[in-house]
Amino acid sequence: MVLHFLIQGRVQGVGFRWFVQREAGELELRGWVRNTEDGHVEVLAAGEPADLDELRLSLKRGPRGSRVDRIVEHTLLESEAEGLESFRIEGVW
């Protein structure tokens, strides 16, 4: 299963990407997390449905100092996960 999440709220500058990477890594998900130019965080995750459910709960909670106002979620085709390896942070400056 492949899911795309857009997390809105106070999610940049609070360690959100590192939090997501740690949570997804523990669940052995494949994919990436990155900041968007408009202040959100974007996640693409592939794995077992139960593990993706756990990630969803973590995204709603977020790390200390964050505030999650809204999560927009889309299910993608399995082909979108081709070439994904271990979970990583994209676009680190």
Query: Cα separation of 63 and 19, whole Å?
Result: 6
CB 27 within 8 A of CB 47: yes
Bridge partner list, 44 = 4, 32
Structure tokens at 22: 């740690």
Active-site residues: which are they?
17, 35
